């Protein structure tokens, strides 16, 4: 199984831990918390004969622990930078996290910007158009999500997994065939693997388009 690190970063209080737990389909108490304040969860992706394990590191947004963050970026193949759609202040602070990722992560690290709390539309302070424009300027891909309802998170996992599998040396056979073969992808929480339980938000087998 190919194992790869994915960091989830952003200001304190934007919902990073809730997003990580939602993806992991596990209670927060079942995740592993490290002394540095970083929470570790994992997600297994099954892609026909290929298995991908996403090690998701929820990096603390507390100022006193920010100095530790670059250590976790170095081996990350993807980074999810989260802000709160109901807080313009968190949106304007994204550049600090993105700059740190760019300066410390691998050159091929995929950058994804997540606007969390899309379920609180009445409280929105950052428009989708504004966030998308910023993501383009930062060389990132933008998704609106909700850690409460799970909206958008499946698409995020699909996007990250597809990018990693397509760029990995271990996936050369897939890359050669992806233009002619229609494949599907499913996700199983490793903690519930023996019961074959899936994410708590609606999920189904999906065809990946090239």
Reported confidence tier of residue 189, pLDDT bands at 50, 70, 90: very low
Q: Characterize the bridge pairing of strands 110-116 and 39-47.
A: unpaired
> What is the mean pLDDT of the segment spanning 147-173?
80
In the three-class reduction of DSSP (H, G, I as helix; E, B as strand; rest coil), residue 59 is classed as coil
Question: Is residue 174 scored above 50 in pLDDT?
Answer: no
Q: Characterize the bridge pairing of strands 2-9 and 39-47.
A: unpaired
Q: How far apart are CA 139 and CA 164, in angstroms?
A: 17
Instruction: Return the domain boundaries, the chain.
Output: 2-170
Give the CATH H-level superfamily of domain 2-170.
P-loop containing nucleotide triphosphate hydrolases (3.40.50.300)
* Percent above pLDDT 90 for the chain: 37
Query: What tens digit of pLDDT does each residue of 81-139 get?
Result: 999 999 999 999 999 999 989 988 888 899 999 999 999 999 999 999 999 999 999 99
pLDDT at 193: 45
Reported confidence tier of residue 27, pLDDT bands at 50, 70, 90: very low
Kindly report the number of other CB atoms within 10 A of residue 37's CB atom: 16
Q: Characterize the bridge pairing of strands 110-116 and 76-84.
A: parallel
Q: Which two three-digit tokens encode residue 210?
A: 């090239």
For residues 162-172, one letter each, b for 16 or more C-beta atoms within 10 angstroms of the residue's C-beta and e for the rest, the string is bbbbeebeebe
Q: Which two three-digit tokens encode residue 70?
A: 């670059």
Helix, strand, coil % over all residues of the chain, rounded to 5:
40, 25, 35
**52 vs 14, 80, 176, 195, CA distance in Å?**
27, 18, 18, 19
């Amino acid at each position: 199984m190919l194992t790869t690190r994915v960091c989830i970063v952003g200001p304190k209080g934007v919902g990073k831990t809730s997003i990580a737990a939602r993806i992991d389909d596990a209670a927060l108490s079942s995740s592993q918390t490290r002394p540095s304040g970083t929470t570790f969860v994992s997600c297994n992706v099954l892609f026909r004969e290929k298995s991908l394990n996403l090690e998701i590191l929820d990096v603390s947004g507390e100022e006193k622990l920010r100095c530790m963050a670059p250590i976790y970026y170095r081996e990350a193949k993807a980074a999810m930078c989260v802000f709160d759609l109901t807080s313009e202040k968190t949106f304007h602070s994204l550049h600090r996290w993105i700059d740190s990722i760019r300066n410390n992560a691998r050159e091929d690290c995929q950058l994804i910007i997540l606007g969390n709390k899309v379920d609180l539309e009445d409280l929105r302070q950052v428009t989708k158009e504004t966030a998308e424009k910023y993501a383009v300027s930062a060389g990132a891909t933008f998704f609106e999500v909700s850690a409460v309802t799970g909206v958008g998170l499946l698409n995020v996992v699909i996007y990250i997994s597809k990018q990693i599998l397509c760029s990995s040396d271990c996936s050369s056979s897939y890359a050669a065939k992806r233009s002619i073969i229609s494949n599907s992808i499913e996700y199983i929480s490793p903690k519930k693997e023996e019961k074959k339980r899936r994410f708590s938000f609606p999920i189904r087998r999906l065809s990946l388009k090239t």
